[in-house]
Amino acid sequence: MPRPIQARIDLSALEWNLQVARRASSARIMAVIKADAYGHGLLRAAEALNAAEGFALLDIRDAICLRDAGFNQTMLLLEGFFTPDDLSLVAEYDLACVIHNQQQIDMLEAYPSRGSLEVWFKVGSGMNRLGFAPDKVHAALTTLKAHPAVRDITLMTHFAQADEATGVAAQLDVFNSLVAPYRMARSLANSAALLRFPATHADWVRPGIMLYGASPFAEISAQQLGLRPVMTLQSRIIAVQELSAGETIGYGGLFRANAPMRVGVVACGYADGYPRHAPTGTPVLVDGYPTRILGRISMDMLSVDLSALPDADVGSRVTLWGEGLPVEQVAHAAGTISYELLCALTARVPIVVN
């Protein structure tokens, strides 16, 4: 018998969440499917999101994979190209590229096809990660507009705090003032901005985490936003331990029972992608009932509190996150974000698609 852990992927939820994005904005949708579609599987996610006008990725090999599979949408490489050698593949597969530094502009001399490259020009509006600094924008754009390799230019930026109280006003003002002279398509909104700031929608929106059914906001649940979880990580109890008062659980003895209690041992650990740093108290469901993690997460196992669940036993179903237990709740308890949990699912976890 195989080990009982599995990740269930609900493709209908992906389609539903895309429609939530569609209802929130009339802009074209650039669905972000980098990092193997946030751990959900590149090809299966692209198929479910096929109604999107574009796909945003990092790896040129992933974009080629989608082209070879018959996807004709705009394919945007979010970090652009890295060497002049990449440009022959960019041309062959008609890929759009983010341009975020002068070195990339210099490399364009190697682009093999005149007048055919779609460029997304990244403005550094305050996140200070990728993008041209405000005092470099005009010169770089002037060069790109005149470049014989370039067909179209879309202006873009990325918000650092769209999911927080600070919001986007300062960055939006910087971006708008810099690009005001240019009549070009624009793209600003990530999931948080798409849902919260209609003024950022422009021509293209770039939803990511919301497509996978997780909220981008700490204070608003995915359910409140009308989103459905796509990935549900489940396993089963494989052993039950009866602890006496004073006994400890697992490596380091981090949890000590203050009274007699039952503990379930679950076939899931950090080698499956569950966060090792998740503390005692992290939420979990056993047979649909809420309880908590106890002690330190092991490579292959973790322990859960069965004190209030007398009917739970070996074979009981355990939900680590997903349907009935939002991934962002687990992430918050573990001191991380839902993106990390979804992306961290390891290859040894079987995927079941429905």
**Cα 14 → chain centroid:** 13
Burial letters 139-168, b for 16+ CB under 10 A, else e: ebbeebeebebbeebbbbbbbbbbbeeebb
Q: Which two tokens stand for residue 83?
A: 């060497």
Note whether 250 and 279 are within 8 A (CB). no
Which ranges of the chain would DSSP assign to H, the alpha helix?
A: 11-24, 34-39, 42-48, 60-68, 87-92, 102-107, 137-146, 169-179, 191-196, 327-333, 338-343
Q: Which of 191, 195, 228, 227 lies closest to 206, judged by CA?
A: 191
Contact present, 153 and 121 (Cβ < 8 Å): yes
| Structure-block tokens of residue 295 | 């002690």
Q: Active site residue: 136, 251, 274, 289, which one?
A: 251
Question: Catalytic one among 34, 111, 212, 270?
Answer: 34
Residue whose tokens read 């961290």: 344
SS3 158: coil
Counted residue by residue, the chain has a size of 354
Please give the distance of CA 56 from its chain centroid, rounded to a whole number: 11
Give the number of other CB atoms < 10 A from CB of residue 312: 22
Q: The tokens of 114 are what? A: 């005149």
Q: Is the dihedral of CA 9, 13, 19, 21 positive or negative?
A: negative
Active site residue 136: no
Query: Of 237, 271, 278, 269, whose CA–CA distance to 347 is shortest?
Result: 271
CB 344 within 8 A of CB 270: no
Strand partners for 305: 263
Task: Give the max Cα distance, the chain.
Answer: 77
- Is residue 38 flagged as an active site residue? no
Cα(14)–Cα(46) distance, integer angstroms: 10
Rounded CA-CA distance 147/117 in Å is: 10
Catalytic annotation, residues: 34, 251
